[in-house]
Amino acid sequence: MISKILQTQDELARILQLCLEVIESGQETVDSLLSRYPELWDTLRPPLEAASWLYNHTHLMNPRPGFVDASRQRLVYHLYYERAGPIVIPWFEQKQIFSRNIGGRKMAVQHSLVFTLLILLLILYVNPAHTIKPLLPAGRFTL
């Protein structure tokens, strides 16, 4: 029984391959091919229609002329610099690059703000009562 199923599958694959070759050559349509194999109508129709549609619309799927060349150049450029490996910069030069960075001043301001907030949090955490007492209205609250 398994050998019969395999024979049937092999026969179906052979018929499908033959039909695809005929569709690709443009000699016949899907309906004319399906009329040759009425017992396989439901099995062959979806792949043959899909193949026919793809063969008829291949011009829509071709890339524009400059795309392939531009893609190839980008790939070669990427592979060239990937193979070269990372550029190693000595520690001193890294510091100079950081100081010359456009965002260096902005980053310095951000770091100083964070440092100031950390100092304030530390002062409030160590002794909040003495820190807050001068801010409270006199006589209303006692600590």
pLDDT digits (tens, 9 = 90+) for 110-132: 889 999 999 888 777 777 666 66
Q: So what's the pLDDT on residue 111?
A: 86
Q: How far is the first Cα of the chain from the last one, in angstroms, to the nearest whole number? A: 95
Q: So what's the pLDDT on residue 116?
A: 93
Q: What is the pTM of this model?
A: 0.41
**Residues 110 and 118: beta-carbon distance below 8 Å:** no
- Please compute Rg for the chain using Cα positions: 38
Tokens 């008829």 belong to 56
CA distance 110 to 95: 18
Q: So what's the pLDDT on residue 1?
A: 47
- 33 Cβ contact partners less than 8 Å away, ≥ 6 residues apart: 19, 22, 23, 44, 48
Q: Is 26 left (phi over 0), alpha (psi -120 to 50) or beta?
A: left
Task: Going from the first residue of the chain to its last (143 residues), give the mean pLDDT of each consecutive group of 10, the final group possibly shorter.
Answer: 62 88 86 86 88 83 83 86 63 52 70 90 72 66 52
